[in-house]
């Protein structure tokens, strides 16, 4: 059999040579028309000056951190965005990236020092704000910044490319948008929250998110700088020791990013496997309307809503066994099955209808809550603030004849009990605060008698803490020295401080009033 000769058009060697020629042409064009148009020395000089540690830098970091933690405590995205606009942390992080690209040890040390000092000031300032704040609950904004995911990583990557490009090409107006996108300050604020509340889960999770964003931005900036021709010949001659330190810094940055990539990749793959496994339990036209896997605990928690033409009795048990075989970890599955038509189109229509119904129900519930709160507070419905996304409703009540603080507290408690998924808050008017009383408690055996809050006194302390937390108005306490000290300790458990006036010694009733400066 005679074989056909391989022509030059189909020769692998010629194809490889052609690809190398194209690549060589591209590199020549890039060097001639792109990198040659960049004033690399000017870029380096400007970037180096932006990384200096100064009083202005520390002040802006602290103010940005303070705004960020207040926005997180109030669960206000608008306030958090304001903190991102002020944050100057992008400059030293980019400085680390450029310093690695050009091998400048002095610049790397300067940027690293500015970054470390700024991060430390941010964490400590936020911890101080949280420690002094009556609000110390983990809000949805805080919880959202306790662990990195694939989308956080991609946001950091894309924004780093945009930021590095803007700095190299002199289009730094883009940096404002990049600062918002990368969200470097909010995770640091959450680290401060975790430190102040001694919440290790929040502390380490937010710190991991910050380090992941930091390393992604720094290494991406290094890559962008190298692509644009920045290299070691642009810096002063480095010693071998400095070069080793620069390599070590690069390695230290790469390790947490690698660990984060591994975990994020595993969770993304596991999510796809879980979704496919759940669908295998149901007939072919079934669809998953919503699925939420939680990888934090053990076992893994999977919650899903499935649109299916046929209800499967033991679907959860089947899904659990199949997922455990695939992942090799314990899993708990909770499925909500919604029966729909047998066609794929019917499933899609049902999915859209389900989403619309959920939206309508959410809107209707929010309107009902606003109406009920307006009636209870004696204000128009448009004065009720309703946040459907975070399921939160706030209203400032008008003074009602004969209504005490206890009455407003009970109104809030009752409506809050009917809406367990919502955070309902009524800000009462400044009604008189209750008196706090103590009683002598006989000791056991030979033990001396002690003094403690009466049952009415404990209820009064709880009411005072609620009212002060809702209004934010300071309070003043007045009474015998020992009783005032005991009440001070009881209020400190609620993160409340008060102006004290001591009258006499021992124990007795303590008067509590609003400290409005009228006295």
> Can you tell me the distance from the alpha carbon of 356 to that of 350, in angstroms, rounded to the nearest whole number?
10
Q: Write down the residue that tokens 């008067």 correspond to.
A: 511
Same domain, 413 and 453: no
Dihedral (Cα; 139, 141, 144, 146), 10-degree rounding: -70
pLDDT surpasses 80 at 61: yes
- The answer to the question of residue 36 being in a domain is no
Domain limits at 333? 281-342
Residue 100 or 447, more confident: 100
Tens-place pLDDT, residues 364-389: 777 888 887 887 777 887 788 887 77
Percentage with pLDDT > 90 across the chain: 4
Instruction: State the pLDDT confidence band at 120, using cuts at 50, 70 and 90.
Output: very high
Indicate if 240 and 171 belong to the same structural domain. Answer: yes
What confidence score (pLDDT) does residue 358 get? 67
The phi, psi pair for 297, rounded to 5°, reads -95, -175
CATH of the domain at 380: 3.30.300
Stretch (H or E) spanning 27: helix 12-29
Q: Are 336 and 403 within one domain?
A: no
Residue 18 clears pLDDT 50, i.e. is over it: yes
pLDDT grade, residue 108 (50/70/90)? confident
Instruction: Decide: 152 and 92 in contact? Cβ < 8 Å.
Output: no
Grouping H, G, I as helix, E, B as strand and the rest as coil, residue 439 is strand
Give residue 217's pLDDT. 83
pLDDT at 124: 92
213 domain residue, yes or no: yes
What's the predicted TM-score (pTM) here? 0.52
Q: For residue 385, is it within any domain?
A: yes
Contact (CB, 8 A) for 195 and 187: no
If asked whether residues 334 and 240 sit together in one domain, one would say no
Exposure class string for 197-210: b at 16+ Cβ within 10 A, else e: bebeebbebbbbbb
pLDDT tens per residue, range 280-293:
888 777 777 777 78
> What does the longest C-alpha to C-alpha distance in the chain come to?
119
Closest listed residue to residue 504, CA positions, set 478, 473, 469, 486: 478
pLDDT of 52 reads: 81
250 and 101, same structural domain?
Answer: yes
- Residue 425 makes CB contacts below 8 A (sequence gap 6+) with 392, 393, 394, 395, 412, 470
Residues 477, 421 within the same domain: no
Tell me whether residue 354 is in a domain: no
Token pair, residue 239, equals 């010693």
Chain length of the chain? 519
Residue 105 gets the label, from left (phi > 0), alpha (psi -120 to 50) or beta, of: alpha
Task: Tell how strand 300-308 and strand 287-294 pair up.
Answer: antiparallel
Report residue 270 CA to chain centroid gap. 23
Residues 305, 204: one domain? no
Residue with tokens 């400290």: 515
Sole residue written with tokens 């958090």: 80
Q: CB neighbours (10 Å) of residue 485?
A: 14
Residues 64 and 168 in one domain: yes
End-to-end CA distance of the chain: 113
**Is residue 108 in some structural domain?**
yes
Order the strands of the 392-396 sheet from edge to edge: 385-387, 392-396, 423-427
State whether 390 and 322 are in the same domain: no
Other CB atoms within a 10 A radius of the CB of residue 310 amount to: 12
Q: What is the pLDDT of residues 325-367, one digit of tens each?
A: 888 888 888 888 777 655 555 555 555 666 666 666 777 777 8
Strand arrangement, sheet containing 300-308: 287-294, 300-308, 331-339
- Residue 125, in any domain of the structure: yes
- Other beta carbons less than 10 A from residue 318's beta carbon: 18
What mean pLDDT value characterizes the chain? 77
CA distances from 209 to 66, 144, 204 (A): 19, 10, 9
Task: With cut-offs at 50, 70 and 90, classify the pLDDT of residue 519.
Answer: very low
Question: What gap in Å lies between CA 117 and CA 341, rounded to an integer?
Answer: 61
DSSP class of residue 518?
-
Q: pLDDT-derived band of residue 30, with 50, 70 and 90 as boundaries?
A: low
* Structural domains counted in the chain: 4
Contact 45, 108 (CB under 8 A): no
Give CA–CA dist 91/214, Å, rounded.
11
Q: Which of 264, 290, 317 is the last residue of a domain?
A: 264
**115-129, 318-332, 387-401, range with greatest mean pLDDT:** 115-129
* 504: alpha, beta or left? (left if phi > 0; alpha if psi -120 to 50): left
Tell me whether residue 357 is in a domain.
no
Alpha helices in 35-104 (DSSP H): 40-50, 55-73, 77-86, 90-102
Please name every residue paired with 162 in a beta bridge, in sequence order, or none if there are none.
Answer: none
In a domain, 432, yes or no: no
Contact between residue 206 and residue 197 where contact means Cβ atoms under 8 Å apart: no
pLDDT grade for 180, boundaries at 50, 70 and 90: very low
| Residue 256 sits in the same domain as residue 385 | no
CA–CA separation, 361 vs 421, rounded Å?
14
Domain stops at, among 427, 459, 478: 427
Residues 204, 250 within the same domain: yes
Query: Do residue 321 and residue 223 come from a single domain?
Result: no
């Amino acid at each position: 059999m005679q074989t056909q000769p391989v022509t030059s058009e189909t020769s692998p060697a010629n194809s490889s040579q052609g690809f190398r020629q194209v690549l060589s042409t591209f590199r020549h064009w890039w060097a001639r028309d792109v990198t040659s148009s960049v004033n690399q020395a000017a870029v380096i000089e400007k970037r180096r000056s932006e990384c200096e540690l100064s009083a202005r830098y520390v002040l802006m970091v602290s103010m940005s951190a303070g705004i960020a933690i207040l926005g997180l405590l109030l669960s206000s995205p608008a306030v958090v965005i304001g903190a991102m606009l002020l944050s100057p942390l992008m400059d030293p992080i980019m400085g680390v990236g450029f310093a690695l690209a050009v091998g400048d040890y002095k610049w790397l040390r300067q940027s690293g020092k500015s970054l470390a000092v700024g991060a430390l000031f941010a964490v400590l300032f936020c911890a101080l704000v949280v420690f002094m704040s009556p609000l110390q609950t983990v809000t949805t904004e805080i919880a959202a910044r306790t662990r990195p995911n694939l989308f956080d990583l991609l946001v950091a990557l894309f924004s780093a490319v945009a930021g590095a490009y803007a700095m190299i090409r002199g289009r730094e107006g883009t940096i404002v948008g990049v600062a918002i996108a990368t969200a470097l300050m909010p995770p640091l604020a959450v680290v401060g929250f975790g430190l102040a509340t001694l919440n290790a889960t929040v502390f380490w999770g937010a710190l991991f998110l910050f380090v992941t964003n930091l390393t992604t931005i720094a290494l991406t900036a290094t890559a962008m700088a190298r692509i644009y021709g920045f290299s070691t010949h642009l810096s002063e001659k480095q010693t071998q020791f400095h070069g080793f330190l620069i390599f070590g810094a690069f390695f230290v940055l790469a390790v947490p990013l690698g660990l984060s990539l591994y975990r994020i990749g595993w969770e993304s793959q596991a999510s796809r496997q879980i979704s496919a496994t759940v669908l295998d339990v149901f007939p072919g036209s079934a669809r998953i309307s919503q699925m939420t896997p939680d990888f934090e605990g053990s076992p893994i928690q999977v919650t899903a809503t499935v649109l299916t033409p046929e209800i499967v009795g033991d679907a959860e048990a089947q899904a659990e066994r199949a997922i455990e075989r695939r992942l090799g970890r314990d899993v708990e599955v909770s499925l909500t099955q919604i029966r729909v038509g047998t066609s794929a189109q019917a499933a899609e229509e049902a999915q859209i209808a389900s989403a619309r119904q959920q939206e309508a129900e959410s809107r209707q519930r929010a309107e009902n809550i606003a109406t009920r709160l307006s009636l209870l507070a004696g204000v128009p419905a448009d004065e009720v603030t309703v946040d459907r996304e975070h399921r939160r409703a706030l209203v400032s009540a008008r003074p009602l004849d004969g209504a005490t603080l206890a009455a407003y507290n009970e109104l809030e408690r009752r409506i809050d009990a009917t809406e367990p998924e919502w955070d309902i808050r009524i800000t009462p008017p400044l009604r008189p605060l209750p008196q706090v009383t103590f009683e002598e408690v006989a000791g056991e055996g030979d033990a001396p008698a002690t003094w403690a809050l009466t049952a009415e006194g404990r209820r009064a302390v709880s009411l005072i803490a609620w009212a002060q937390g809702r209004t934010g108005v300071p309070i003043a306490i007045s009474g015998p020295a020992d009783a005032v000290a005991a009440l001070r300790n009881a209020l400190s458990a609620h993160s409340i401080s008060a102006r004290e006036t001591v009258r006499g010694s021992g124990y007795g009733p303590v008067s509590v009033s609003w400290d409005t400066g009228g006295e």
